[in-house]
Structure 1
Amino acid sequence: MTAETITQADDLPRLVGTLTDVRAGKVEPFVRGVSAINKIAIDGSMTVNLLGLSEDEQAEHKFHGGHLKALHQMPITTYDAINQEFNLNAPIGSLGENLTVMTSGEPMCEDNVCIGDIYQFGEGDDSVQARLIQPRRPCYKINDKLGNAGVSYFVAREGIAGWYYQVVRTGVLHADMPVYLIDRPYPFANLTALWSLINQKSGIEAQTADKWLGIDCLEISWKKKIHDKRKAH
């Protein structure tokens, strides 16, 4: 899987990798208050409904969970960046993600996944289909988990916090499932480009903004950010 091939909308469905870990967590006491950021890799399988993994919990439903944040995937490359920047040794799976996908080539990351992508996890009638609809906004609990107050800002600045899926077909998840990209309606809308627009200090050209505002499945708060930065004609 290369950056060149994954940005194309043709030749679908396409095998992109293997789901190596599925993680779920319970609300528990944390550094400040409570959290469910400690997601533990499950043994066996777990059902997925429209709100995500059946046994996964979220501590603050205003910011986490719900059908627009049903499943979270974090790129493995994020850990490399954090560990190098802050001289840490944070292991993959330590920042609250539900899904880890490994590939034989370029890892899945913000450079090569797009808003609107639909991924299928597994094969057969109980396979799960999920649509990518928004990046994750990192919060202070990432800082608390890693013991460094700068991580959340760094992750947001670099746009490497992973992404949320909306479940479009319920089913069952377990480790070692194949992962397929089955639809890519907006091949221009990779997450690196979205974060770049959101983080830039200047306004967004109207033509560019309108392309993003035309994405039917982009979560509304991200659309509002683009709308508010849109330059007048």
Structure 2
Amino acid sequence: MSATHRPNPEINLPLHVANLVCVRAGKAMPFTRDEMSAIDKAPIAAPVAVNFMGLTTDEQADRKHHGGPLKAVHQLPTATYEKINTEFDLKVRIGTLGENLTTEAVNGLPEMDESNVCIGDVYQYGGQYGDDKINGEGSVQLRIVQPRRPCYKINDQIGQFTKVPNIAAWVSKQGISGWYFQVVRDGIINADLPVYLIERPYPFATLETLWQLSNSKEKFDAEVIEPWLAIECLEASWKKVLNKKMKKSSVQ
């Protein structure tokens, strides 16, 4: 079975999938090319408010390409660092690449990564689970709306300390750049909170598959692409990319 048709098994929700082990925010600082950047994120010790624009203590220097309601919060699997460090023989530390949230799997489940999170997934950070219900008062709810597109700032961030080729292109090809959340419900977030998957409307729509479709040199039948175009919350630029991947003969 091709990766573009790999099924995502049905699961019973809500499901405690992880614990939040670190929350990070950054301040805009002088960066490379005479620019400012807040890509370097430091752990936050105290609880922090989250609204539709993200963590209230987090900054983005380039508001045109970073931040905003459809890039409010960024999560990146720690495995991305392991893969980069192994591939390029580096020691890039967690938090270097701009992520706000770091989680750790629980109950024998796999770590949250691009192979098992989906566009449209809603995760709740905080609250208590019992009797098949979650008491989520004060907790934050976040929806995955797009992967992160690696940009030259990843190259510059790592390249400040090493002479490495185009890491951003490699990360993009691997599809391991994490994802952006839209804030569904404002609240307070801090480390050590449980993370619950509470909605999965599009179980076929893993980020891994989205990257494979987007990076492919092939064209696909409408039956492969159209379900993605019907995902209301998928950020528009990704739909534009996918639409170009559909065979012309399949377009009505």
Map of 1:152 onto structure 2: 168
The 3-state SS of whatever aligns with 1:133 is strand
> Which residue number in structure 1 is paired with residue 4 of structure 2?
none
1:121 is displaced (CA, Å) by: 0.1
- Residue 170 of structure 2 aligns to a residue in which SS? helix
Structure label with greater radius of gyration: 2
Quote the Cα distance in structure 2 between the aligned partners of 1:8 and 1:52. 31
Q: Is the 8 A contact 1:9 1:185 kept in 2?
A: no
TM-score w.r.t. the length of structure 1 is 0.95
Displaced runs of 4 or more, over 4 A: none
Whether 1:12 and 2:13 are equivalent positions in the alignment is yes
1:149 Cα deviation from its structure 2 partner: 3.4
1-structure distance, mates of 2:238, 2:85:
28
Size of the aligned set, in residue pairs, is: 228
SS of residue matched to 1:182: strand
Any unmatched runs of 5+ in structure 2?
Answer: 1-6, 128-135
Which stretch has the larger CA shift, 146-155 or 114-123?
146-155
- Structure 1 residue 186, shift from structure 2 partner: 0.3
Matches of 1:170 and 1:8, distance apart in 2: 30
Farther-moved stretch of structure 1 (6-15 vs 136-145): 6-15
Partner of 2:22: 21
Q: Name the residue aligned to 1:3.
A: none
Moved more, 100-109 or 110-119: 100-109
What do residues 115-159 of structure 1 show as CA deviations (whole Å, max 9, x unaligned)?
Answer: 000000001311000000000000111111111332101100000
* 3-state secondary structure, aligned to 2:48: strand
Structure 2 residue 53 is matched with structure 1 residue 41? no
SS in structure 2 at match of 1:161: coil
Matches within 5 A, 1:29-178: 29-32=30-33, 33-104=35-106, 105=108, 106-123=110-127, 124-147=136-159, 148-178=164-194
Q: Equivalents in 1 of 2:58, 2:237: separation in Å? A: 24
* CA distance in structure 2 between the partners assigned to 1:97 and 1:36 by the alignment: 10
SS in 1 for 2:86: helix
Shift of 1:204: 2.0
CA RMSD of aligned residues (A): 1.2
Identity over the aligned pairs, expressed in percent? 54
CA displacement 1:5-52 (0-9 Å, x = unmatched): x93343100001110111111111012211000111101100000000
CA distance in 2, matches of 1:8, 1:181: 14
**Aligned-pair distance for 1:80?**
1.0
Equivalent residues of 1:9, 1:184 under 8 A apart: no
Q: CA–CA distance in 2 between the matches of 1:58 and 1:9? A: 37
2:172 partner SS? helix
| Structure-to-structure mapping, 1:211-226, within 5 angstroms | 211-226=227-242
What SS does the aligned partner of 2:142 have? strand
